[in-house]
Structure 1
Amino acid sequence: MSTGLQDTLRLSKQLLLSGSVGFPDAAMRFLLALNTAEVEAWMHLALVARLMKEDHTAARFARFVLNRDSKHAQAKQMLQATKDAGPSLDARSTPQGRYLLIRAWNAGFWSDVDHVLGCLLLASLTNRTPVIHWGPDSRYGGTPERSAWDNFFEPVSTLTVHDLAAQKLACFPPKWNHENISGPSINRFNGKHSRTSYLSLLNRPEPVVVADFFVPLAGVFFYLRPDHPDFDSHPQTILRRTLIEQVRPLPQHRAAAAEFTGRHFGNGPVLAVHVRGTDKTDEDPTANEWNQRFTMIADQSLKNGLVKSLFLMTDTAAAQDKWRKLFGDALICSPAQVSQGTTALHFTPGLDGAALGREILVDSLIATHADRFVGMASSNVARMISLLKPWAPDTIGLLGEDVLNMPNPMLSDPRIAFAGRNEPE
């Protein structure tokens, strides 16, 4: 067993003993995704579930351990403990009047939506009404009074954060209360009650639980009970269905996309290409390699007559200039803002966040009108475009490592500080 793996398991065990579950959950799911240390990973996840009063799930995970090691003493003890515990008072069985307040994740536009998708499954699992408030910590035009979500999408419920505040309901984590739940971020990454795991929200008695730290849908999926309608589904299937059914763009944004494609997509088949520059080249060292590959795919598609036009989505002026020189009149670009440097637009001070969000959304909808699409698997934009439309397998390509479907232990790793800030660098 490698030193790194030993350190991960040791830290996970220490945190579990202290009652902290965020890192053990993400780290063990990461190991399982790598098909590494399966016995230890499932045992740690069983301990996580037990701590969160999810005895059904703890027993299920313990059985996974015993399937791999029939003599595993700790797994046998877990099965006995969950059996002896008997039926527990499940907070989910209490009457209605239970809410999940979904705050902004404060990242890229589609990353924030990805957080919402995880929260919507969590709301279903915990029998809570979802209430979205992308407030002043949203990068897309939110204020304490108005949710930025309403700039882009239809509501997911009839309630607002102000309806919850007016009832003066108890909240969890306790850094939140009826007076501040619509306001700025509090200790998202550092300080008391920071990096609150979605698992901590599963069986809380408080009427309002607040999700201000990233909630991965694939993580929530691990803890679904057998009686949940999505128990036998695949996370990607749930993700697509939730996106289509519950994240509904406002009619004016759909109309804007249709109007643009009506004017520009009439010359024959179109290949939509998403090219990320700015900070993505720091996040993903292979980004430049894939961006170069996209130009080759576009060139070949035009020469082979597979498409007649190219729709380029990008956040950087340098990419636009390069593609115009390469493809001339075959290139189609929307009037969306682009960065003149290496700072991502959503991190650029002084921009109109609501306008930026609309441009990202409309460009993504435009891309779904294309006949083909290519993008990076590590980009939330490309990932969401791949989900927004039932593309035929031979018409879409997400290239590179699919890191977005991998658990991210780094976010919850207590050894990693975030520069003394409450937002990541």
Structure 2
Amino acid sequence: MATDRFLLIKAWSYILWADVDHLLGQLLIAEMTDRIPVVYWPTHCIHNGFVHTNGYELYFEQINNYTIFDLANPEYTYYPPIWDSSSLLVEDHTKDTWVYRNIGDILGSKANVVVGDVYYNVYELIPFLNKNHVAYGMSVEQIYHYLMGKYIRIKPDIETEIQGFYNSWLKGSQPSLAVHVRRVDEELVFDTRDADKFDNQYWNKVYRKENSDKPVTRLYRYLKKGRYKEPNKVYHKDIHKLIEKYNIRKIFLLTDCKETIKEYVRLYGSKVVYTDCKRLGKDQEPTYMENPMIKRRRGIEVIKDAYIAAKCDFFIGNDFSHLSHAVSRLKDWPAKNVKLLYWAYKKRKYPVNAKLIVRQGSKVISLLKKVLNKLVPRKGGAAGDK
């Protein structure tokens, strides 16, 4: 590897696991272009409150011994050309326009330093993989596992906390289930009658077809579309299935909501365990005005939850959550042991922690639904496997 070719990986968002997801895609680009990766999370990131420090190194071990200051060399060339040796620490607030961020230009740049500050999913990069690359022929999830295992190493003090919690609350209580439930977003409402107004991130197609071999079940699902989709309630159907089938002894709950803790303790009793961390009520707004030490504590809490969840035998999460995806990538789960939920309606995916309003049927259909409710067992909210 050349010693004068670098990929500076800056923060993409203000959320820790979202930036780790971004980092993994950029690390693949570094390997594809034979560049030395250098990670820099600036002080404005949500979990970095220290001035003149690299937020990434508050939680994870350095990938190598290079820092952003090693890249500030007046003799180096830079891409995108908006940067030079004196401006690397500056944030580009116009990056959302994607100017100079075309993947072909990024991969083909001859500059000494390429700055990666926009998000590329691994599946977007697969077509550009060389046949000699170790990831050639791997699936998207296999590549994420490979990158996570090779590069992401948490700090020893965080690892000690994770192991201590596991030994105290989960060790010897197999099989265990981890469940990640995001707080209900009261302001996020999807009315499928106005689907064209939705942001593109909620337009993902559902590629796995539902099993609908029985005509009665198919008819029931069609008529059931007029029902209100209640946020997060679909979790309980899958949790009860696992409890009945595998005799789950412990449920490790990951959530940012106080009401969710109360709900799960009421429903599952002493099976439920959870870490001691800051959670919000359903009407509380998050605040980021905290001192640096507390901000690091918040970062440790979300890392700790993910790694403890990965030590469990089963996992149910939210397909629209970076934290849930991180848990699914921290180890090679058996396919049937991990499930990321979403609402599915007309081949589109919506987050299960949001309200979903579907098209209402006629009075005749409403009457038929009542009849079918008595004849056919309810299936719960539509959810997809990951």
TM over 0.5: yes
| 1:312 counterpart residue number | 253
| Deviation of 1:330 (Å) | 2.2
Alignment of 1:339-378 (within 5 A): 339-341=280-282, 345=286, 348-351=287-290, 352-378=294-320
Q: Distance in 2 between matches of 1:344 and 1:134?
A: 24
2:127 equivalent to 1:204: no
2:269 equivalent to 1:328: yes
One-letter amino acid matched to 1:158: N
Q: Distance in 1 between matches of 2:108 and 2:49?
A: 30
Q: Distance in 2 between matches of 1:365 and 1:126?
A: 31
| Deviation of 1:122 (Å) | 0.3
Q: Distance in 2 between matches of 1:289 and 1:383?
A: 23
Alignment of 1:25-424 (within 5 A): 95-141=2-48, 145-166=52-73, 169-190=76-97, 194=99, 196-266=101-171, 268-269=173-174, 270-279=176-185, 282=188, 289=230, 291-302=232-243, 306-341=247-282, 345=286, 348-351=287-290, 352-400=294-342
| 1:59 counterpart residue number | none
Distance 1:401 1:249, change over 3 A: farther
Distance 1:333 1:391, change over 3 A: same
Query: Does structure 2 conserve the Cα–Cα contact (< 8 Å) formed by 1:302 and 1:309?
Result: no
| Deviation of 1:343 (Å) | 7.1
Q: After the TM superposition, which of the residue ranges 125-134 and 367-376 deviates more from structure 2?
A: 367-376
Where is the helix percentage greater, Structure 1 or Structure 2? 1
Q: Secondary structure at the match of 1:291?
A: coil
Q: After the TM superposition, which of the residue ranges 118-127 and 390-399 deviates more from structure 2?
A: 390-399
Q: After the TM superposition, which of the residue ranges 149-158 and 336-345 deviates more from structure 2?
A: 336-345
Q: Secondary structure at the match of 2:312?
A: coil
Q: Secondary structure at the match of 1:178?
A: coil
Q: How many residues align?
A: 306
Query: Does structure 1 conserve the Cα–Cα contact (< 8 Å) formed by 2:11 and 2:40?
Result: yes
| Deviation of 1:129 (Å) | 0.5
Query: Does structure 2 conserve the Cα–Cα contact (< 8 Å) formed by 1:316 and 1:339?
Result: yes
Query: Does structure 1 conserve the Cα–Cα contact (< 8 Å) formed by 2:183 and 2:282?
Result: no
Distance 1:157 1:179, change over 3 A: same
Q: Distance in 2 between matches of 1:349 and 1:307?
A: 37
Q: Distance in 2 between matches of 1:109 and 1:142?
A: 13
Q: Secondary structure at the match of 2:8?
A: strand
CA RMSD of aligned residues (A): 3.0
Q: Secondary structure at the match of 1:202?
A: helix
Query: Does structure 1 conserve the Cα–Cα contact (< 8 Å) formed by 2:183 and 2:257?
Result: yes
Q: Distance in 2 between matches of 1:174 and 1:359?
A: 38
Question: Percent identity among equivalent residues?
Answer: 24
Q: Which structure 2 segments of 5+ residues have no match?
A: 192-201, 203-227, 349-386
Query: Does structure 2 conserve the Cα–Cα contact (< 8 Å) formed by 1:279 and 1:343?
Result: no
> Cα deviation per residue 1:111-151 (whole Å; 9 max; x = unaligned)?
11111000001001111100000112422106562111101
> Cα deviation per residue 1:24-68 (whole Å; 9 max; x = unaligned)?
xxxxxxxxxxxxxxxxxxxxxxxxxxxxxxxxxxxxxxxxxxxxx
Query: Does structure 1 conserve the Cα–Cα contact (< 8 Å) formed by 2:249 and 2:271?
Result: yes
| Deviation of 1:230 (Å) | 2.4
Where is the strand percentage greater, Structure 1 or Structure 2? 2
Q: Which structure 1 segments of 5+ residues have no match?
A: 1-92, 407-425
| Deviation of 1:361 (Å) | 0.5
Q: Distance in 2 between matches of 1:180 and 1:294?
A: 47
Q: Distance in 2 between matches of 1:313 and 1:195?
A: 39
One-letter amino acid matched to 2:183: G
TM-score by length of 2: 0.71
Q: After the TM superposition, which of the residue ranges 265-274 and 366-375 deviates more from structure 2?
A: 265-274
Distance 1:140 1:194, change over 3 A: farther
Q: Distance in 1 between matches of 2:229 and 2:5?
A: 47
Q: Distance in 2 between matches of 1:400 and 1:236?
A: 18
Query: Does structure 2 conserve the Cα–Cα contact (< 8 Å) formed by 1:173 and 1:209?
Result: yes
Query: Does structure 1 conserve the Cα–Cα contact (< 8 Å) formed by 2:78 and 2:112?
Result: yes
| Deviation of 1:248 (Å) | 1.2
| Deviation of 1:195 (Å) | 7.5
Q: Secondary structure at the match of 1:292?
A: coil
Q: After the TM superposition, which of the residue ranges 390-399 and 234-243 deviates more from structure 2?
A: 390-399
Query: Does structure 1 conserve the Cα–Cα contact (< 8 Å) formed by 2:22 and 2:121?
Result: yes
| 1:70 counterpart residue number | none
Q: Distance in 2 between matches of 1:162 and 1:211?
A: 16
One-letter amino acid matched to 2:69: H
> Cα deviation per residue 1:302-325 (whole Å; 9 max; x = unaligned)?
466611221110112221222222
